[in-house]
Amino acid sequence: MDSALIPEGVKRCSFRSFSLWLLVIFGVIGWGVLGGFMVLWKGLNVTGLNDSFGFGLYITADLAVIALGAGAFFTGFLTYVIGKKELKDIINLAVVVGFICYTGAQLVLLLEIGQPIRGWFSFWHPNVHSMLTEVIFCITAYTIVLTIEYLPLILENKQLDKVPELHYFSHNLHEIMVVFAATGTFLSFFHQGSLGGLYGVMFARPFAFREGFFIWPWTFFLFVASAIASGPALTILVCKMVEGVTRKKLVRREAILLLAKVTGYLLAFYMVVKILDTWWWATHTAPIMGASFREFFQAPYGLWLLVAEIGVCGIIPAIILLMPKAREDDVLLIVACVLNCTGIVINRFVFTVQNLALPVLPFEQVQIYVPTWQEWAPTVALLAYGALLLSLSYRYLPMFPRERELNPIE
Amino acid sequence: MSGNKSNGVRYGMVIDLDKCTGCMACSVACQQENNVSFREDETDKLRSITWLEVFYLDNGKPYPEHRRAYMPRPCLHCDSSHHPYPYPPCTFVCPVNATHRDEETGLVNHIPVRCIGCRYCISACSYHARYFNWWDPKWPEPMEKMLTPDVSTRMRGVVEKCTMCVHRLQLAKERAFMEGRRELHEGEYVPACVEACPARAMTFGNLLDPHSEVATLARGPHAFRLLERLATEPKVYYLSTQKWIRKLADNVM
């Protein structure tokens, strides 16, 4: 039925199976839209947020997907700026994943602010001293860059490519992609960093506050390092997932292994600086503010979170990814990537929720945050939105340039 | 928002905890003066709006050593000159300049009609002095006719906080202007909470005027501020002769 739209020389499942799959996805998205509608209609009182937890699941999810979406800019940087040609196999996928993460995060962010209709005030009345202003400007600009990077792939659709103007436009965009890759790298560096700065500058919150370099707290640099260490891991995971579902080899092994190796080195570097930061924070920064490291970890947000983040989801995947034999094993590679991505989600959760759960006034108690379904639904729908865009891109666009070569049709 | 540039007026408050009886008159007066909205069920204190919260403190000891006290907490209007962020913790994080410190008076204000409700300021404040409007404000009949005309009501989805009744400052300035004066007399401008306190536990005035009562009290041997180690430099001081209360004011390792 839709064969006219499917790229030449590749095999896709039947339209009936694809429609059933889309039905499932739309079901989940519908649930998310309902949750989001409730928030917009009734207000944020339907969430588990309160004056203690100004930030919750929405912000944790936003920060996590933006960090994991860093695979787009970093793979683009390696492919176009550094010149790692083998990564061209996977760059389209990285761009689609990045686009999903950034646009999805912005949709969720719309629900998070109490006055979504005033969202444009951030551009009209910007406070240049606020890290959030930097985040808003850079994320918006980078989403535009990602759209430009996604556009040539969309225009390569069999039918669109037949239009000569679109064909040449797409070709020319490809030629200047290095400019957008470099711009994306610049923008991403700043917004990943300013997301970290968002917490590090809270000098009245001893759990989050960090000293730093000039106006940038150490969390600024830690968030950049953690994003580039985990983003490519998500790209690898999504690639493996698509290969698993389609039962096809879509990317050459050397591309995956190169990305895994780079991720390993970056994660190891991030672990070293993260451990140094934790040590300095525990022994120097926090005590000056009258806080003690031990009191930072109170049930249910206990020390297990730190062990899980740094030990289980940091050091272990770094070791696996650094060992050539280990990363060449598909199972170990997937385990390492899952742990790596989980570690970053824990990190963003800790800075968002644990930070606000802890009492700052000496006579207060630790607070507990429980999200409601109106928070879970749009968050899960974000994943479904990702599945939708990936499914459509895979079916109708030449997302994997080596697919035909690796899967010849007899 | 701007940096800390003092010009001779820095409004502040001193609250004598040894005098405070916890009667909550300050809190009620604040609520009424500033058109603070409320709900039928106010049991969820993490979602109710109380510009002037009254904390209950106790020394944690059994009878007969048991002691208790009350600590009224308005917004502390931080005078922070923290390096490298010489602003109150809440103002410089706001992405839309909806909150700022007026450098003529030292008062930290909030502009609800510009606020986008991101709640970054709530998260940055260690004193929980900022509140979010989780619901549409509603006043049952005939209370809507009793609203203070000088204070705008706030809408759902924005943050609000104590302004030290800044509208009263404006009125006092207008009165002074009509009388041909540029300066205000001591006591000419006081927030509603200070006026309402039956125990005279609250004193308000210019902290930079060495002869003012508030400055004299703030220099006293029993004066302290909340969480001094955070360098937020609150302009609300507390007084207490009781050591256990002073100890509860800061985290000391």
Secondary structure of B131-191 as H, E, C letters: EECCCCCCCCCCHHHHCCCCCCCCCCCCEEECCCCHHHHHHHHHHHHHCCCCCCCCCCCCC
B4 falls within a domain: no
Check CB contact under 8 Å for A51 and B253. no
Amino acid occupying residue A286: A
Q: Is the ipTM of this complex over 0.95?
A: no
Among B115, B116, B122, select the one facing A119 at the smallest CB separation: B116
| pLDDT score recorded for residue B7 | 61
Establish if B115 touches chain A: CB-CB under 8 angstroms.
yes
| pLDDT score recorded for residue B253 | 54
B53 falls within a domain: yes
Check CB contact under 8 Å for B123 and A129. no
Among A114, A122, A367, select the one facing B158 at the smallest CB separation: A114
Q: In angstroms, what separates the C-alpha of A126 from chain B's closest C-alpha? A: 5
Among B126, B130, B157, select the one facing A115 at the smallest CB separation: B157
Number of continuous H segments (helices) and E segments (strands) in chain A: 18, 2
Q: Sign (positive/negative) of CA torsion B7, B8, B11, B14?
A: positive
Establish if A65 touches chain B: CB-CB under 8 angstroms.
no
Domain count, chain B: 1
Chain A segment 348-367 residues within 8 A of B by beta carbon are: 355-356, 360-363, 367
pTM of the model: 0.94
Nearest chain A residue (CA) to B252? A290
B152 falls within a domain: yes
pLDDT at B102 over 50: yes
Chain A segment 181-240 residues within 8 A of B by beta carbon are: 198, 201-206, 214-215
What residues in chain A have per-residue pLDDT under 70? none
Among A119, A126, A202, select the one facing B124 at the smallest CB separation: A202
Q: In angstroms, what separates the C-alpha of A361 from chain B's closest C-alpha? A: 7
Please tell me whether residue A273 adopts helix, strand or coil conformation. Answer: helix
Cα angle: A33, vertex A34, A37; to 5 degrees: 85
| CATH number of residue B106's parent domain | 3.30.70.20
Domain that holds residue B22: 11-249
Amino acid occupying residue A108: V
| pLDDT score recorded for residue A381 | 97
Q: Sign (positive/negative) of CA torsion B140, B144, B148, B152?
A: positive
Paired tokens of A331: 């199972």
B193 falls within a domain: yes
| pLDDT score recorded for residue B3 | 44
Of B131, B126, B82, B135, the residue nearest B110 (C-alpha): B131
B1 falls within a domain: no
Q: In angstroms, what separates the C-alpha of B30 from chain A's closest C-alpha? A: 19
H/E element holding A173?
A: helix A164-175
Mean of the per-residue pLDDT values of chain A: 94
* pLDDT tens-digit series, residues B38-97: 998 999 999 999 999 999 999 999 999 999 999 999 999 999 877 788 899 999 999 999
- B82 Rama class: left (phi>0) / alpha (psi -120 to 50) / beta: beta
Of B204, B225, B205, the residue nearest B127 (C-alpha): B225
The percentage of residues in chain A with a pLDDT greater than 70, rounded to a whole number, is 100
Check CB contact under 8 Å for B82 and A203. yes
Nearest chain B residue (CA) to A46? B134
pLDDT at B5 over 70: no
Nearest chain B residue (CA) to A47? B134
Phi, psi dihedrals of residue B60, rounded to the nearest 5°: 75, 10
Identify from A130, A283, A358, A364 which residue to disrupt to test chain B contact, counting B C-beta atoms within 10 A and taking the largest count: A130
Q: In whole angstroms, give the CA distance from residue A394 to residue A99.
A: 14
B3 falls within a domain: no
Chain B segment 183-242 residues within 8 A of A by beta carbon are: 226-227, 229-232
Establish if A284 touches chain B: CB-CB under 8 angstroms.
no
Q: In angstroms, what separates the C-alpha of B187 from chain A's closest C-alpha? A: 31
B5 falls within a domain: no
Size of interface A-B (CB pairs under 8 A): 167
Q: In angstroms, what separates the C-alpha of B114 from chain A's closest C-alpha? A: 7
Among B87, B98, B253, select the one facing A290 at the smallest CB separation: B253
Check CB contact under 8 Å for A202 and B123. yes
| pLDDT score recorded for residue B16 | 98
Residues A231, A234, A240, A245, Cα dihedral to 10°:
-140
Q: Which residues of B touch A289 (CB under 8 A)?
A: 229-230, 251
Q: In angstroms, what separates the C-alpha of A70 from chain B's closest C-alpha? A: 23
Among A43, A54, A287, select the one facing B123 at the smallest CB separation: A54
Nearest chain A residue (CA) to B117? A114
Check CB contact under 8 Å for A205 and B124. yes
| pLDDT score recorded for residue B2 | 41
Establish if A165 touches chain B: CB-CB under 8 angstroms.
no
Nearest chain B residue (CA) to A355? B123
Among A51, A52, A115, select the one facing B115 at the smallest CB separation: A115
* pLDDT tens-digit series, residues B177-233: 999 998 899 999 999 999 999 999 999 999 999 999 999 999 999 999 999 999 999
The DSSP line for A1-48 is --GGGSPTT-----HHHHHHHHHHHHHHHHHHHHHHHHHHHH-GGGSS
Say if residues B16 and B216 touch (Cβ distance below 8 Å). Answer: no
Q: Which residues of B touch A204 (CB under 8 A)?
A: 89, 124-127, 227, 230, 232
Nearest chain B residue (CA) to A137? B95
Q: Which residues of A touch B44 (CB under 8 A)?
A: 50
B6 falls within a domain: no
| pLDDT score recorded for residue B6 | 53
Establish if A292 touches chain B: CB-CB under 8 angstroms.
yes
Q: Which residues contact A353 (CB under 8 A, 6 or more apart)?
A: A53, A55, A56, A60, A301, A369
